[in-house]
Amino acid sequence: MTQIPPSAPKDGVDHSDGGGSPLNKAENSHEEREKKNLSRRAKDVEISVPIVYGTIAFWLGRKATESQSHKWTVYVRGATNEDLSVVVKRVVFQLHPSFNNPIRVVDSPPFELSECGWGEFEIAISLYFHSDACDRKLDVFHHLKLYPLEQSGPQSTKKPVVVESYDEVVFPDPSELFLGRVQNHPAVVVPRFPAGLELPPSALTEENSDRRGSTKDHPLGHWFMNFSEADELLKLAAARQQVQAHIVKLRRQMSMVEGSSGTVDPASAF
């Protein structure tokens, strides 16, 4: 599980020239509203985004050369193959320096790239999120494997080497703008809202709910690993949210009697 710290607070300085046309004033007003929405945070709430990153490598067989023996694809996908672009803005893959243009930027889903080569190496993967989610990037690392760990005979051109890793990206105390935008998206796990929290209606529509970022029909999809433990991890995350909500309730009860002669038995709150 990887927890992303809340976005750093803005400097609060007005960088406008103090004047300008009505259009500029309207733009400034819109920007101020956006900043205000981003500054409002849903306390004691965590948004979880299950992701999978990995590689699939095919041996080229008779087409293999000394410098290009395998074709491989590196990617970041939703754990259940949902579109991650609702949270992820871009992904940067850093390949071995021997490749032309080793730093590859993918600005739209699916977040992947394919190459040919002969050697194994570590790929640095940087995830950048939308501004209402987080202003910090997340770095993960994946080792490209071209050869199976156990090989009893010649390598097959039809059966690839698949290596994937599961992770759960957690956004604590998300902005209400982000929470409202993704609350009904299938790629995002949103817990029960605290009492009294009101959010704007979700912007998710039937039109954009099935974008091309979904990997459910990916041509390599039948090679993707099925992370059966993902469901259990998500259940644990939901249970953790309930426990945290109960702790908050307990703290409020204790604060109400603080300074009085009475005491609160923590066990009575459960």
pLDDT digits (tens, 9 = 90+) for 213-268: 566 677 787 778 776 555 556 666 667 777 777 787 788 778 887 766 555 555 55
CB 143 within 8 A of CB 35: no
- The pLDDT of 23-29, averaged and rounded, is 58
Q: Which residue, among 46, 50, 25, 13, has the nearest Cα to 234 in the 3D structure?
A: 50
pLDDT at 218: 79
Query: Helix (H, G, I), strand (E, B), or coil: what is residue 216?
Result: coil
Q: Compute the distance between CA of residue 34 and CA of residue 262 in angstroms, rounded to an integer.
A: 45
187 in any annotated domain: no
Q: Which residue, among 78, 179, 168, 201, has the nearest Cα to 130 in the 3D structure?
A: 179
Most confident of the following: 31-35, 143-147, 245-249 = 143-147
Q: Compute the distance between CA of residue 56 and CA of residue 241 in angstroms, rounded to an integer.
A: 35
Per the structure, the count of domains in the chain is 1
**Res. 65: pLDDT tops 90:** yes
CB 203 within 8 A of CB 181: yes
CATH number at residue 150: 2.60.40.1970
CB 111 within 8 A of CB 91: yes
Please list, residue by residue across 74-106, b when 16 or more beta carbons sit within 10 angstroms of its beta carbon and e when fewer do. bbbbbbbbbbbbbbbbbbbbbbeeeeeeeebeb
- Please name the amino acid found at residue 214: S
Quote the tokens at residue 207: 């039109």
Q: Which residue, among 124, 126, 90, 96, has the nearest Cα to 108 in the 3D structure?
A: 90
92 in any annotated domain: yes
**Res. 14: pLDDT tops 70:** no
Please indicate, yes or no, whether the overall pTM of this predicted structure exceeds 0.85.
no
Nearest 10 degrees: CA dihedral of 70, 105, 131, 170? Answer: 20
45 in any annotated domain: no
185 in any annotated domain: no
**C-alpha distances out from residue 134 to 37, 38, 42, 160, Å:** 14, 10, 14, 35
| Structural domain that includes position 162 | 50-167
pLDDT at 128: 98
54 in any annotated domain: yes
206 in any annotated domain: no
Secondary-structure breakdown of the chain: helix, strand, coil percentages, each rounded to the nearest 5: 25, 25, 50
Burial level of 175, CB count in 10 A (0-12/13-18/19+)? buried
189 in any annotated domain: no
158 in any annotated domain: yes
